[in-house]
Amino acid sequence: MSLRSVSSTFVRNLKPVNATRLGLTTPCLRTYATEKKAAVHPPRRTFLHNKYSDIIENNRVVFIFQHNNLTVKEFTQIRQQLGELPGGSALPKLTVLKSGVFSAALRETKFANLEPLVTGPTCVLSTNVADAEHPDLLKKSVELLAKNKKMLLLGGKLDNVLLTQADVLKVVELPSLEQLRAQVVGVIEAPARKLLGTLEQPANQLHSVLDRRI
């Protein structure tokens, strides 16, 4: 008997499998090696992703800095100096980043265009400070970090606006909202004061002349 005839006889004698007898409640499904499985991230990566998403979404200010391998001691010193600034609960926080995880978090937000800034060793300065509360806090914080030669400002975001390095430096130099209002009021009132002085001048001169004659 040839091998082919033996194979044919074997196939004809095969009987369908009774799933109930085997204790199976669901039909057997064929799986293929090409099927994609849902990505399962390590707990640490998931924790960092959630932390970075919170920093991006729940802070008015997020400034990105590149740090040239600062030591733990240097980072601790910078954080202590930031903690000494007047700001209370709104004090900026300095967070060292895992670039890949932070980039992934950025891509899920409307600030995805900041991703090219996140290369190499990076960290972020973040805060929810309001302009009216501590108008000079951002300026002092950026100046403090700029004193360290290993820290390089790259850019960031303020509220919903993306900022370049030059934009950040301009923004932190702006006066507070209250100062701007005072300046605007001063500009508006200046012509009125000048006009009032012009109108009062003849009356004052007349009064002076009358005083000399009496």
CA distance 104 to 24: 42
pLDDT in tens, 119-137: 999 999 999 988 777 888 9
Contacts (Cβ under 8 Å, ≥6 apart) of 130: 60, 90
Whether 189 contacts 196, CB under 8 Å: no
Question: Dihedral through CA 83, CA 173, CA 117, CA 100, nearest 10?
Answer: 20
Domain extents in the chain:
43-178
Kindly state the average pLDDT of the residues 33-43: 67
Q: Mention the CATH class of domain 43-178.
A: alpha beta
- Predicted confidence band of residue 180 (pLDDT cuts 50, 70, 90): very low
Hey, what are 142's tokens? 């950026």
Strand ranges (E), 4-127: 61-67, 93-96, 122-127
Provide the 3-class DSSP secondary structure of residue 155: strand
pLDDT in tens, 67-123: 988 899 999 999 999 999 887 777 899 999 999 999 999 999 999 999 999 999 999
Whether 85 contacts 137, CB under 8 Å: yes
Whether 63 contacts 153, CB under 8 Å: yes
- pLDDT above 60 (res 143): yes
Whether 90 contacts 130, CB under 8 Å: yes
Range picked from 61-65, 87-91, 182-186, 196-200 for highest mean pLDDT: 61-65
Dump the DSSP string for 138-178: HHHHHHHHHTSTTEEEEEEEETTEEEEHHHHHHHHHSPPHH
Distances (CA, A) of 143 to 118, 139, 147: 21, 6, 6
